Amino acid sequence: MAVRPHDLESIAPVIGSFKISQTASVDDLKDTNIGEAVTISGNSTVSPCGVGDVLLGKLLDLTLTDADDGDRVASVQIGGICRLKISATFPTVGDRVVGAASGTIKQAPLLAVDDPAGGNIARGTVVDVNGTTDCLLILN
């Protein structure tokens, strides 16, 4: 019997539904953002990850269409194993990550002092890195 390849991303994903943040009554997430990193930006509200943001998870889907500002709901993978695009400073295996530009993630910064109030901003554990393109991480 041949060995079957295993898709780690299919292991126990945890998915939640969130409202979408808005700027000037326009949703901050559109269909083009599907697959990108998102962060909590308000009460049960998500937006694209920016530089230094705490990673919530991966945007999996949006209800309705891009024209339905204010009525859409975002489905976000908040647990399990997922693949996300990376930016410099590129993470390595074993690193934790934070938000980077345009819905990507990067290696978490080294903390020079004790963790800030509310805890460390880093999230996840990187288990595989694909050059400078993307990485596979456990959302823990």
Per-residue pLDDT, 114: 63
pLDDT in tens, 26-72: 999 999 999 999 999 999 999 999 999 999 999 999 999 999 999 99
Which residues are within 8 A (CB) of 96 and not within 5 positions of it... i.e. 6 or more apart?
A: 107, 108, 120, 122, 123, 124, 125, 126
Q: Which pLDDT band, with edges at 50, 70 and 90, does 3 fall under?
A: confident
pLDDT in tens, 77-121: 999 999 999 999 999 999 999 999 999 999 999 876 667 777 888
In the chain, pLDDT over 90 holds for what percent of residues?
81
Phi, psi of 43 (to 5 degrees): -60, 110
Per-residue pLDDT, 1: 64
Residues of the chain by 3-state class (helix, strand, coil), percent to 5: 5, 40, 50
Record the tokens describing residue 113, joined without a space.
């002092």
- Amino acid symbol at 25: S
User: What structural domains does the chain harbor?
Assistant: 11-110+118-139 (2.40.300.10)
Which residues are within 8 A (CB) of 3 and not within 5 positions of it... i.e. 6 or more apart?
A: none
Q: Quick check: 72 and 18 in contact, CB under 8 A?
A: no
Q: Which region, left, alpha or beta, applies to residue 33 given φ > 0 means left and ψ of -120 to 50 means alpha? A: alpha
